[in-house]
Amino acid sequence: MTYLSRSRELGGQVPWRPGSLEDVMDAVQRGPTLTSRQRQDIASALRTLGKLTNRPLSAHPSSLRSVRRLLDTVKPALHGLSRGRWANVRSLVFKGLDIAGVERRRRGDCSTVSAAWATLVAPLPARHLCVAIMPFARHCTRLGLDPSQVTQAVFDDYGTYLEEFSSRTRPREALLDLRRAWNRAGEESYPAWPAIRFAVDDRRPRYSRQWSDFPASLKEDVDAMVKAATRPINLSGHRPIRPISAKAREILLLALASAIVASGQDAASLKSTTDLVEIDAVAAGLEHILARLGGKITVHVHQIAKITCTVARHWVKVPKAHQEQLEIIRRSLDPGRHGMTEKNRATLRVFEDPEVVARFDSLPARVWSKAPSLEDLKISGAVRLQIALAVELLTVAPVRIANLASINIDRHIIDRGHGRHRSVHLFFPKAEVKNVVELEFQLQSSTIALLDRYLRDVRPRLLRAPSPWLFPGGGDAHKVKTLLGEQIADLIETEVGVRVTAHQFRHLAGFLFLKANPGGHEIVRQLLGHRSIATTQSFYAGMEAAEAVRHFDRHVEQRRAEARPSRPRRRGGNS
C-alpha cells in the first residue's frame, strides 16, 4: 500500500515516500491492513537490522538499492543467526519497504515463461545455464518479448532492473552469470539460439596487456632470462630461483610493460628488457600505476620496482649510475612497514571474540555432524564435507593452498601403527614448499577420524577417474587451488560470518597462538616454516600486545594478592 500526505502546494494528496528506515518503521506501525502479529514481526526485523549494523534506523536510507547493499554487508553467522532466521529477516524488511511504498518489482511479477522461452531453454544440458538464464527469460516474458526480439538494449535494461528494482542479492554477479551462460549457449551452436552475444561494460579501467601486444623479441628476452635464472647449474654464481618465483617475475615485468604503454609510450618500442629498465620508461610506468591507486604506495608497486632493479643489475647489467637511479625509485616506493597487510590484520581482529573462535574451531565437526546418510548424500553434500575436511587440515596444519590442493595420499600422508599406537602425519618435502623448508604435522585423533570417514565414504563419490589426490579434480588431476580456496572461504563465511582465505589460515594460526602465548614467536616460526624469526616478528608485531597487557594485569593482581597483609584477629574481652 502507499501512504498519502496533504500537500499544500498541490492542493491534494500526493504519494508519501519514506526517507529512511525509521520512516519505514513508522509506516509499518501505522499500517491499517496489518495484523498485530505482522506488525510485530516486521518491526522486529527492522530493529534486528539496526542492531546488527550498530546504527539507528534513521541513518539508513530506505531506497531499495541502499537497503539491499546494507543487507548484503551483514554476516549473519558472525552474530549467531541461522541462515533460516536471516532469510526471514530479509524477507520481512522487504515487506516493510512494500508497506511504506518503496517501489520494487518482486519475483512474483512473473513466475512462468512464455512457450518460446521454454522451448529455447529446454535443450540446455547444464543446470547452471538454466539457472542463470531463467530469471532473464521471466523478465522478458513479463515485457512481452520473445527470444528473437532480444537486443543489447534489453539486456542493459535487465541490468538496470536488477540494480534498481530487484531484491536479489549480488545483482552484478547475477548479470555476469547471465552473460556467460547466454554466450556459452550460443557458442555451443544450438540451432535456435539467438545470434546476439551479450557484453557487459567493465567498470574497472584496465591497463594490462598480453605479451602478444608487444614485439616478439621482448617475450623471447624475458623467457631467456627466466630460463637462465631457473637453471640448476648457474655459472653466474647466483642461486637459481624456483619456477613459481620465475612466473611471478614474468607477471611483474608484464605489468611494468603494460603501465609504460598506458603512460603514452608505443608498445613497439619495447623490444627487450633493456627497454623495460630505461629510467624514464620505468618512472612513467610506475607513476601511471600510482595515479590509478590514488597515490597510495602499495607492496605490489614496490615489488615491480624491486624486480626492475634485479633485472637491470643481473640480466641487463646496466651501468652503476643507471642502477643507482633505479634504486632511488625503488626506495621512494617502499611502503614502509613490512609483514602482514592491514586487510589481514582487520580479519584477525574479528577473532578477538571468543565466540567467533569457538564457531571457527567447531566448523568441521559441525558440518560433518549434519551430513545426511550415505544413501542420501548428493555430490553437493559430498563437496561440502570435502571442504570441511580441508578447513580441518588447515586448522591443524596451516600449509599454503598449493600444498593443500596437491596432497597425494601415498606421498604426503604417512600412516603408521594400529589402534592406540597409530599415528598419521602430513609431510611435505622441502622441494615442494615455497620457501624450501620441510614441513611435517602429526594429526590429532579427531582429525584422523574425519580423514578416515572422508576417504571411506565421501572421496569415492567425487572420483571421476582413478586418482592419488586427496582432493581429486577433473580427470587424473587434483582440484585447482583457486577453486579449493574459494570454496574454503565461502564455507567459513557462511558458517562463521567472516571470510577467511586459505592463506589467512597461516596468519590466524600464529595470531591465536601468540594471543594465548605472548612472545612465543619461535614456535610460530617453526610451525609456519619461516626461515627467519624476524619474518615472524614483523608479521605479528603489535597483534599480541593486547593479550600481553592482560597477562601483565593478571601478574600485577597476583603480586598484590600475595603481598596483601592478612586481617588481624580480634582479641576477646572488653576494650
What are the pLDDT digits (tens) for 181-197?
A: 888 888 775 777 888 88
Say if residue 130 is exposed, middle or buried (CB neighbours under 10 Å; 0-12, 13-18, 19+).
Answer: middle
Band of the pLDDT at 542, cuts 50, 70, 90? low
Closest CA to 67 of 177, 174, 164, 175: 164
Over residues 100-117, the mean pLDDT reads 68
**Residues 481/400, Cβ–Cβ less than 8 Å:** no
For position 8, what pLDDT does the model report? 33
For position 284, what pLDDT does the model report? 94
Sign of torsion, CA 319 322 323 324?
A: positive
Distance between start and end Cα atoms, the chain: 85
Class of domain 360-505: mainly alpha
As given in the structure block, the three cell numbers for residue 556 are 600485577
Q: Which of 172-186, 284-298, 363-377, 545-559 has the lowest mean pLDDT?
A: 545-559
Within 10 angstroms of residue 422's Cβ, the number of other Cβ atoms is 11
Rounded to whole angstroms, the Cα distance separating 45 from 51 reads 10
Q: Is the pLDDT at 438 greater than 80, yes or no?
A: yes
Q: Is the pLDDT at 431 greater than 60, yes or no?
A: yes
CA dihedral 341, 342, 343, 348 (to 10 degrees): 100
Rounded to whole angstroms, the Cα distance separating 168 from 94 reads 11
pTM: 0.67
**Residues 5/16, Cβ–Cβ less than 8 Å:** yes
Say if residue 400 is exposed, middle or buried (CB neighbours under 10 Å; 0-12, 13-18, 19+).
Answer: buried
Rounded to whole angstroms, the Cα distance separating 92 from 6 reads 28
Collapse the DSSP code of 416 into the 3-class scheme (helix H, G, I; strand E, B; otherwise coil) and give the result: strand
What are the pLDDT digits (tens) for 460-513?
A: 999 888 899 999 987 788 999 999 999 999 999 999 989 999 888 888 888 888
| Strand ranges across the sheet with 439-442 | 413-416, 423-428, 439-442
**Residues 420/402, Cβ–Cβ less than 8 Å:** no
Distances (CA, A) of 58 to 39, 54, 531: 19, 12, 53
Band of the pLDDT at 526, cuts 50, 70, 90? confident
Query: What is the full DSSP assignment across 187-253?
Result: HTT-TTS-S--------S------GGGS-HHHHHHHHHHHHHHH-SS-TTSPPPPPHHHHHHHHHHH
Looking at residue 543, its amino acid is M
b/e burial code for range 25-58 (CB count within 10 A of at least 16 → b): bebbeebeebeeeebebbbebbebbbebbeeebe
Q: Which of 146-155, 258-267, 371-380, 537-546 has the lowest mean pLDDT?
A: 537-546
Band of the pLDDT at 14, cuts 50, 70, 90? very low
Task: Return the domain boundaries, the chain.
Answer: 4-104, 108-187, 211-332, 360-505
Band of the pLDDT at 300, cuts 50, 70, 90? confident
Rounded to whole angstroms, the Cα distance separating 289 from 282 reads 11
Within 10 angstroms of residue 406's Cβ, the number of other Cβ atoms is 19
Rounded to whole angstroms, the Cα distance separating 176 from 462 reads 28
Rounded to whole angstroms, the Cα distance separating 557 from 549 reads 12
If phi over 0 gives left and psi between -120 and 50 gives alpha, with beta otherwise, what is residue 270? beta
Closest CA to 283 of 316, 329, 317: 329
**Residues 16/2, Cβ–Cβ less than 8 Å:** yes
For position 108, what pLDDT does the model report? 42
For position 339, what pLDDT does the model report? 63
For position 554, what pLDDT does the model report? 75
**Residues 14/85, Cβ–Cβ less than 8 Å:** no
